[in-house]
């Protein structure tokens, strides 16, 4: 698949639901009417569309997102169906980690290869303030369970905000180093509940690095490729090393290397995270999968993908999963 700029699209971010057990300050508004649980794409339809994209369009990677993908009661079936598709090289999931402690081993056995876990704070009070849930212990237990289950790599995702967790970056890096995990610090985007406060709450990559500078002895850049993160092998002042990434949509966007397409839980197509939806695949997958109609919807959506993302987001993150 090619978009309007000639970029090859081989990575699908598939939202399974807009439901989530957290209410993160940068993600879900106080009143959220986005969840439509009765008309989400069913496991068979998901398998058909992914199998088709792998076979006909060279898709190699799928990430299951939300909302919170573990809110889907049929998540295990979805993982098993996708894991059985020949040619799909990478099946990953992004999760808030609240239930990962109970299910990490089962996800791995079903065919999930790796997870990204959201971790915005190691302080229980700050964690609750940022996520709306007193669940830090459960998330930490989920991270440990994912390690024990053999999901690999495990990456930690941290959205950095002023008057939130910006002072915790050193502690989060040391935590990642102690577990042998990669951590990614994400710049706040002007979308969702904090869009109106973006200028006051935004922390740039440069500011993040300044906060980490006293504990870092050496930064070694890792080739980026199509990865959204600028990644570094970092040697710390205590002798340990850890991979630290910065996802910088605002200070240094990675649009020129973007190889992503997003499909929401209800079948809307988003060629770009911060743009508006560009069509739907619902008519192409229900009641039966129609490959020609599906391809026409993909072509139309990708033909409208912009060279760079807009300066403000169109929708809320809980619908698209980042």
Whether residue 67 has a cis bond before it, omega within 30° of 0: yes
Q: For 187-221, how does the pLDDT look when each residue is reduced to its tens digit (9 = 90+)? A: 999 888 888 898 999 999 999 999 999 999 999 99
Exposure of 125 in the CB half-sphere (CA atoms within 13 A): 0
Q: What is the mean pLDDT of residues 35-53?
A: 90
**C-alpha to C-alpha distance for 87 and 309, rounded to whole angstroms:** 30
The mean pLDDT of the chain is 93
pTM, full prediction: 0.94
User: What is the 3-class SS of the chain, one letter each residue?
Assistant: CECCCCCECCEEEEECCCCCCCCCCCCCCCCCCCCCCCCCCCHHHHHHHHHHHHHHHCCCEEEEECCCHHHCCCHHHHHHHHHCCCCCCEEEEEECCCCHHHHHHHHHHHCCCEEEEECCCCCHHHHHHHHCCCCHHHHHHHHHHHHHHCCCCEEEEEEEECCCCHHHHHHHHHHHHHHCCEEEEEECCCCHHHHHHHHHHECCHHHHHHHHHHHEEEEEEECCCCCCEEEEEEEECCCCEEEEEEECCCCCCCHHHCCEEEECCCCEEECCCCCCCCCECHHHHCCCCCHHHHHHHHHHHHCCCCCCCCCCCCCCHHHHCC
Q: Which residues contact 286 (CB under 8 A, 6 or more apart)?
A: 45
> Quick check: 118 and 157 in contact, CB under 8 A?
yes
Domain boundaries, the chain: 11-320
> Quick check: 112 and 92 in contact, CB under 8 A?
yes
- What pLDDT is stored for residue 226 in this prediction? 74
Q: What is the mean pLDDT of residues 275-284?
A: 93
Under the banding of pLDDT at 50, 70 and 90, the label for residue 161 is very high
- Is the pLDDT assigned to residue 99 strictly greater than 60? yes
More confidently predicted of 286 and 88: 88
> Quick check: 131 and 157 in contact, CB under 8 A?
no
Q: What is the mean pLDDT of residues 68-81?
A: 97
Overall fold of domain 11-320: TIM Barrel (3.20.20)
């Amino acid at each position: 698949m090619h978009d309007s700029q000639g970029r090859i699209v081989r990575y699908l971010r598939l939202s399974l639901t807009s439901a989530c057990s957290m209410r993160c300050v940068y993600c879900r508004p106080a009143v959220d009417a986005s969840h439509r649980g009765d008309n989400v794409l069913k496991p068979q339809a998901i398998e058909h569309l992914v199998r088709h994209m792998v076979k006909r369009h060279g898709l190699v990677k799928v990430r299951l997102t939300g909302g919170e993908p573990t809110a889907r009661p049929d998540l295990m079936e979805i993982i098993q169906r996708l894991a059985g598709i020949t040619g799909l090289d990478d099946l990953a999931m992004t999760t808030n980690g609240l239930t990962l402690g109970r299910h990490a081993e089962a996800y791995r056995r079903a065919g999930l290869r790796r997870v990204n876990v959201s971790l915005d704070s190691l302080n229980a009070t700050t964690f609750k303030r940022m996520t709306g849930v007193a669940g830090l212990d459960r998330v930490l237990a989920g991270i440990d369970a994912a390690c024990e289950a053999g999901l690999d790599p495990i990456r930690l995702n941290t959205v950095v905000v002023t008057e939130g967790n910006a002072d915790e970056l050193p502690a989060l890096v040391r935590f990642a180093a102690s577990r042998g995990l990669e951590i990614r610090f994400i710049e706040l985007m002007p979308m969702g509940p904090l869009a109106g406060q973006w200028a006051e709450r935004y922390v740039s990559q440069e500011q993040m690095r300044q906060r980490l500078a006293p504990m870092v002895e050496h930064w070694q850049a890792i080739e980026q490729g199509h990865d959204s993160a600028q990644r570094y092998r970092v040697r710390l002042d205590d002798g340990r090393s850890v991979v630290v990434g910065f996802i910088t949509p605002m200070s240094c966007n990675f649009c020129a290397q973007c190889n992503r397409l997003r499909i929401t839980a209800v079948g809307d197509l988003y060629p770009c995270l911060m743009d508006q939806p560009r069509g739907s695949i619902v008519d192409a997958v229900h009641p039966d999968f129609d490959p020609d109609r599906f391809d026409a919807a993909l072509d139309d959506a990708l033909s409208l993908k912009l060279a760079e993302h807009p300066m403000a987001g169109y929708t809320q993150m809980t619908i698209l999963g980042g």
